[in-house]
Amino acid sequence: MKVVAVIPARYGSTRMPGKPIMDICGHPMIWWVYQNVKKVKEFDEIYIATDDERIKTVCESFGASVIMTSDDCSCLIDRVYQVSNTVEADYYVTINGDEPILESEIMPKIIPDFVEIDKPVVRGLVREFTDPVEVIDSGNIKIVVGKDGYSLYSSRSPVPYPHKTTQFKYKKYVGVELFNKKALEFYVSTEQTEIERIEDIGSIRFLEHGIRIHYDLVKSNSLSVDTPKDLEKIIKVLSEEKGYGNETY
């Protein structure tokens, strides 16, 4: 089994342009992500996928392998598909480039025990919310998972609605996903669905066409950097809780 890790990184974030190379305690954000991914022995190869020469230059300066993708990718799945046309693998694991404290130990949990080539395979990780404020933040994708571990729905709204009880834990998408080539080919050859467009969640395209997505529940304190406030939180975690200073990169 060959498993390739792909870290998508784009410069043109609407809220935080240049986010992947913003400084965090003396290193660019993408460096922190790359260092965590490097610790996972199950990954045979690691690539950073970007459409920006500035990101490419920074990543190559610390020894990362970079694959340039087109600048018209609508989401990370499009970007990973382009990587799959250059690098062959049984599975492609994507790790979000804006989660610099994502724990290495949870990443291998997403990898299946066997290779499936006859049907699309899509998997992800979820964690339980610990902060009620996170639940109402539309930037955090909520996943409804059935008893068998497969997704029933994904939404930016708090789902399920606590109509009969509040005695349950909402589950949050963690920035690690897995695809085989067949799943990637399906995605890029299928038009965007209406619900996917409304929610702006790419994985809904699979669900609307009956392709099941399996989610593993993990314990994680990861935080995606979507706003300057998120960046402040990450810097605080790395400098105060983990003891990293502000060394010059």
What range does the domain containing 21 cover?
A: 3-241
Is residue 175 domain-resident? yes
Q: What is the pTM of this model?
A: 0.93
Is residue 247 domain-resident? no
The predicted pLDDT at position 234 comes to: 92
Is residue 248 domain-resident? no
For range 217-229, the mean pLDDT: 89
Q: Please count the residues of the chain.
A: 249
77 membership: H or E segment, kind and range: helix 76-84
Nearest to 29, CA basis, from 241, 243, 238: 238
Amino acid at 44: D
Q: What is the pLDDT of residues 99-132, one digit of tens each?
A: 999 999 999 999 999 999 899 999 999 999 988 8
| Residue 1 predicted with pLDDT over 90 | yes
Nearest to 182, CA basis, from 124, 96, 115, 86: 115
Distance CA 91, CA 4 (A): 6
Token code pair at residue 241: 């809780």
Residue 46 · residue 5 · CB < 8 Å: yes
Count how many domains the chain has. 1
Is residue 246 domain-resident? no
| Residue 249 predicted with pLDDT over 70 | no
- At residue 153, the 3 state secondary structure works out as strand
Strand partners, 173: 126
Q: Could you tell me the CATH number of the domain that includes residue 22?
A: 3.90.550.10
Is residue 152 domain-resident? yes
Is residue 12 domain-resident? yes
Is residue 249 domain-resident? no
Q: Identify which has the larger pLDDT, 107 or 12.
A: 107
Residue 225 · residue 100 · CB < 8 Å: yes
Nearest to 176, CA basis, from 7, 3, 20: 7
Would you call 26 exposed, middle or buried from its count of C-beta atoms within 10 A (0-12, 13-18, 19+)?
middle
For range 29-39, the mean pLDDT: 96
Q: What is the pLDDT of residues 49-92, one digit of tens each?
A: 999 999 999 999 999 999 999 777 667 899 999 999 999 999 99
The predicted pLDDT at position 13 comes to: 72
Residue 243 CB neighbour total at 10 angstroms:
8
Residue 78 · residue 202 · CB < 8 Å: no
Is residue 148 domain-resident? yes
